[in-house]
Amino acid sequence: MYILRTLAVLALTLVTAGLASAAELPGDSLYRLDLTLTDHHGRHFTLAARRGRPQLVSMFYTSCQYVCPLIIDTLKKTQAALTPAERARLDVLLVSFDPARDTPARLAAVFGERKLDAGTWTLARTGPGEVRTLAAALDIQYRALESGDINHSSALVLLDRDGRLRARTDRIGEVDADFVAAVKQALAAP
């Protein structure tokens, strides 16, 4: 069901966005999504610009006091389970659920506070509609609460070099050995 839902979101996005420039991408690539993001340095980039290296992707928001810090810790632990050479070839992208509050300056502050690796990590934001599109494609549910908090599911998603979903884990707070094995396999692929 997850794959069918993801393919439906991708198909709908492709039909409405008319992405002729991404024609060379595989049909199931998330890089076909017409998303422009802004990173923690204030630089704009498209999701497709991440093509070429495997990616760990997840969603979070900086004012979260509960699960989001665990997502970051789990991503760090997943990286730590890799060799230094493997870590150097794997990028990490965290996209905010909360573009109104997660400005590039706020993302940069969290980047520094959490001592994230500037060579492989990117914290980013996009518009509210694009947040919904990406969350649907990653099968991550969320909703804003009146308190300003965001209730959300949590997942780490592995994309291959061409943006295809290769693995997913919902285990947060600990290393998922099967997920790490999938990451190693993606890194070993030509």
Q: What is the mean pLDDT of residues 1-29?
A: 55
Write out the two tokens for 182: 């999938």
Residue spans of alpha helices (H) in the chain = 2-17, 67-80, 84-88, 104-113, 128-138, 177-188
Sheet strands side by side (includes 44-46): 44-46, 36-39, 121-125, 91-96, 55-60, 156-159, 165-169
CATH of the domain at 173: 3.40.30.10
Task: Specify the number of domains making up the chain.
Answer: 1
**Residues 171, 179: Cα–Cα separation, whole Å:** 9
pLDDT, tens digit, 9 for 90 and up, residues 140-162: 999 999 998 999 999 999 999 99
Q: What is the mean pLDDT of residues 101-113?
A: 98
- Please give the C-alpha separations between residue 90 and each of 76, 117, 130, in angstroms, as whole numbers: 12, 11, 24
Residue percentage of the chain with pLDDT more than 90: 84
Q: Inform me whether the pLDDT recorded for 85 exceeds 70.
A: yes
Domain that holds residue 108: 2-188
pLDDT, tens digit, 9 for 90 and up, residues 31-76: 999 999 999 999 999 999 999 999 999 999 999 998 999 999 999 9
Select from 111, 64, 14 the least CA-distant residue to 22. 14
Q: Are 61 and 69 in contact (CB under 8 A)?
A: no
